[in-house]
Structure 1
Amino acid sequence: MNEQPLVSVIIPNYNYASTIGECIKAAKNQTYPAVEVIVADDASTDDSVAIARALDVTVLQVPVNSGVSTARNLGARHANGEVLFFVDSDVALDPDAVERAVEYLRTEPGLGAICGMYRAEPMFPDSLVKRYRAIQQYVWFCEVEGAIPGLHSALFAMKKETFLEIGEFNDRLRWTEEQDYGFRLNARYEVKAVPTIRGRHDHDGTLRVMLTKVFNRTRLGAPNWLRLNKLPGGAGTGYRALGSAFVLAAVLALISAVLLGPWALLAAAVLTAIGVLLDKRTYAYAYRHHGVTFGLQFTVLHLLVTLTSAVAASIGILQGLLYPSMTQRLYRVETPA
C-alpha cells in the first residue's frame, strides 16, 4: 500500500437530508490529506441529493430504491481510492478517523477491515430515544474492542483489493447485510473494532422506529447466527442474551398472574431483576453518567428493547430450525450434495 493512498469515503444514503450535510462536512474535514467523497444515493425522495451536490462531492444515483447494499456496491465500483472507507449518511466522523484507519490497514497486512465505534452522544441529542440508543450502543460496542466475528458497517475501512476479493455486499439483504459480509471477511481475514476511530451517529428518534429496527434485525439475523453457531458482539453478549430471556420470562409470568396470583408477580419481579443484573454494565453507565432521573427513563426503554430482542430472536430461531433452506437461499449458502 502506498505511503498516503487515496481514500474513497463512500456514503450510502436514502432520505437522510437531515444528517447528510454533517456527514459530508465531517468526511471532507479529515486530517488525512488524500480523500475523495462519494455519495451513493438509493433513489431518495427528499433533498439529500441537492444537499450533497451543493457540498461539491461526487454523487451517484441508483434508479430504483434497492437497499443499502446496492448503494455501497455502486460507490465501491466508482471509487478511485486504494482504500474504501464506508460511512453511513447519519454518521459524522471524527476528524482523525480516516487517518487512523489507514494506519491500521498499513501496519496490519492481515487485516480485512477496521471498524470504528459510535460516540456516547448522538449527532443531534434532540430526543430521549436518541440519547438512550447512543448510550446503549456505545456500551455494547466498547465490549467488542479487538477481533470481532462480524462487521460494524456504519463506519469501517478496507483495502479496495480486499473488497474485490471478497465480493460485493449481498443485495438481497436489507437488515443483515453487515452480518453476512462480516462472516465472509472473517473466513479469510481478521476484522477488528477499535475505539480510536469514532463517529457521532444520529440514532432513531422515535420508539416505534427503533423497536421496528431491533425486531427486524434480530429476527432476520438469528437464523444466520444459529447456522454459524455464533453470537454477535463481545464477552457480554451471551450474558445479555440470557438476560433478555429472563425479561421475556418475566413478562410471561406477569401475564400468568391472572391465574397464578401474587406468586406470579413475585416471579416476574425476580426474573426482571436477574435480567437487569446480567446486563448491569449498560444500566450502570446510564445512571453513573446521567443521574437517576435519566437512568429510570433509560431502564424503561432498555427493558422494552430487551423484550423486543427476545421475542424477535425466539421467532428467528424457530424459523431457522423449521425452514433452514430459506436461510441458506437468503445468504447464498450452497447445500452439500
Structure 2
Amino acid sequence: MSEQAPLVSVIVPNYNYAASLELCLRALQAQTYAPIELLVVDDHSTDDSVAVARRLGVRVVQTERNMGVAGARNLGVAHAGGEILVFVDSDVAAYPDAVEVAVAMLAADPRLGAVSSIHDPEPLIRDSLVEDYRALQYYYWTASSEGSISFLFPALVAMPRRVYDEIGPFNTQLRETEEVDYGHRLTQRYDMVLTSAVRSRHDHDDRLGKLLRKLYRRGRARVPLYAQRRRFACGFETSSRAGGSLAALAALAALPVAAPLGPAGAMLPAAALAVSIIADLGMYRFVLRRRGPLFLLYFGVVHFVVNVTIAAGVAAGVVRWLFSARFRRLYEPDLHVRPSAAGEAAT
C-alpha cells in the first residue's frame, strides 16, 4: 500500500471469547494492509480474554459493565482514530487480505457505505456436528445473498468513518437485532454489499441448545422491525426462508390434528414438511454435494428443528408486539442515536 493509504481502525468487540480471540487477533496482525490500529473492546468478560489480548500486545478498552455488542462497537469507535472502521467479532478470523480488499472496494465507490464478509463453509474451530451444520447453513444463506444487501453482517464489516458519523451509532437498545436496524438505516443513504472477496472463518455455536436459544431470541426480536417497515431485509432473511420456517412449525403443529384422521390426515403435516424442504432445496443440494447423503440426513433433521425454533420465536414476537407497547417502541427513530451511557476505562 502507498504511504497515503488511510489509517484503518480494526475494532474487536469481545465478551468471554478467549477460546477464539487469539486466532482472531493473530489473523488481524497478519493483514497485508497497512497502516492498521487494532483495538479490543472487552465487554466486562469473566474469562481471560483481556490477558489473551495483552499477551499479543493489543490495545484493550474495558467496560465497567456489560453493554452488549452494539455498545462495545460504539465505544471502540470513540477510541479509534482511523478513516476506515473495520468491525471484527472475536470469534472470526479474517483472511490475510480481507482488510486490503475491503478498503479497495470502499475507495473504488464513494456510494458504498459498507462491505461485509462471507464466512467460509468450514468453521474456524471444529468442535461438533452442530457446528458443521451451522457453518454450512450460514454459508449457503449468506453466499446466496451475495451482492447488494440491506441486512448488515457486522461479524466482519468495513465502513468509512464518515459514514458511521453520518448514520450514527449502533442502537444499544437492541441486543439481538442491532445489525438489521443499522443496515436499514445505512441503506437509506448508501449502498452496502456482502462479498466473498472478503473472506473469513467463524467459530460457530457448537451446541444445539445454545444455537436454538439464540435463534429463538432473534426471531422474536425481529418482529417490531419487520412489522413497522412491512418488508424483509434484502439478503439472508428472505420471505421464502421465513415461509420455510413457518411451514416446518405448521408440520409439527398438524401432527396432533392429523393422527385421528388416519392416512388421509397424514397428508397435512407431509404437505407442510414438503413446503419447508422446497424453500431450502438449493441448500440441501449444496450439502449433499459437499458432505454426502448421511450427513445430509443429519443436516435435514437439525434444520427442521432450527426452522421450528425460528418460527416459534417469531410467533412469540407477534404476541408480544400485539400486547406490549414498549416492545413496539424499540424501533422508533429517536432511539437510534442514543449511545450507551455505560462507563468505560482505557488500558
Kindly report which structure 2 residues correspond to 1:1-337, keeping only aligned pairs within 5 A, or say none.
Answer: 3-234=4-235, 237-323=238-324, 325-333=325-333
CA contact (8 A) 2:151 2:235 kept: no
**1:23 Cα deviation from its structure 2 partner:** 0.3
Measured against aligned partners, the alpha-carbon deviations of 1:185-241 in whole angstroms (never above 9, x if no partner) come to: 112111111111111000001000000000001110122112111213438822221
**Partners of 1:116 and 1:240 in 2: how far apart?**
21
Mark the CA change 1:129 to 1:241 in structure 2 (over 3 Å): closer, same or farther: same
CA contact (8 A) 2:6 2:83 kept: yes
Please state whether the residue corresponding to 1:18 is helix, strand or coil: helix
CA contact (8 A) 2:93 2:124 kept: yes
CA contact (8 A) 1:140 1:233 kept: no
CA contact (8 A) 1:68 1:174 kept: yes
Please state whether the residue corresponding to 2:18 is helix, strand or coil: coil
**Partners of 1:271 and 1:221 in 2: how far apart?**
23
CA contact (8 A) 2:184 2:233 kept: no
Measured against aligned partners, the alpha-carbon deviations of 1:75-109 in whole angstroms (never above 9, x if no partner) come to: 11111111000010000001110001100110110
Please state whether the residue corresponding to 2:265 is helix, strand or coil: helix
Measured against aligned partners, the alpha-carbon deviations of 1:97-156 in whole angstroms (never above 9, x if no partner) come to: 000110011011011111111110100112011110010010000122121112001110
CA contact (8 A) 1:117 1:197 kept: yes
Please state whether the residue corresponding to 1:10 is helix, strand or coil: strand
Structure 1 residue ranges without an equivalent (≥5):
none
Which range moved further: 149-158 or 306-315? Answer: 306-315
**Partners of 1:236 and 1:185 in 2: how far apart?**
17
User: What amino acid maps onto 1:191 in structure 2?
Assistant: M
Please state whether the residue corresponding to 1:262 is helix, strand or coil: coil
User: What amino acid maps onto 2:107 in structure 1?
Assistant: R
User: What amino acid maps onto 1:134 in structure 2?
Assistant: A
**Partners of 2:93 and 2:236 in 1: how far apart?**
28
User: What amino acid maps onto 1:159 in structure 2?
Assistant: P
CA contact (8 A) 1:143 1:236 kept: no
**1:334 Cα deviation from its structure 2 partner:** 5.3
**1:181 Cα deviation from its structure 2 partner:** 1.1
**Partners of 2:137 and 2:4 in 1: how far apart?**
37
Q: What's the TM-score once normalised by structure 1's chain length?
A: 0.94
**Partners of 1:237 and 1:184 in 2: how far apart?**
18
Please state whether the residue corresponding to 2:153 is helix, strand or coil: coil
CA contact (8 A) 2:13 2:73 kept: yes
Please state whether the residue corresponding to 2:199 is helix, strand or coil: strand
CA contact (8 A) 1:141 1:233 kept: no
User: What amino acid maps onto 1:205 in structure 2?
Assistant: D
Identity over aligned pairs, percent? 45
User: What amino acid maps onto 2:230 in structure 1?
Assistant: N
CA contact (8 A) 2:137 2:283 kept: yes
**Partners of 1:67 and 1:56 in 2: how far apart?**
24
CA contact (8 A) 1:129 1:204 kept: yes
Q: What's the TM-score once normalised by structure 2's chain length?
A: 0.92
CA contact (8 A) 2:321 2:328 kept: no
Q: Which has the higher contact order (CA 8 A, sep 6+)?
A: 2
**1:244 Cα deviation from its structure 2 partner:** 1.7
Which range moved further: 7-16 or 238-247? Answer: 238-247
**Partners of 1:236 and 1:213 in 2: how far apart?**
15
Please state whether the residue corresponding to 1:37 is helix, strand or coil: strand
**1:321 Cα deviation from its structure 2 partner:** 4.3
**1:55 Cα deviation from its structure 2 partner:** 0.4
RMSD: 1.8
**1:69 Cα deviation from its structure 2 partner:** 1.1
CA contact (8 A) 2:259 2:266 kept: no
**Partners of 2:125 and 2:236 in 1: how far apart?**
30
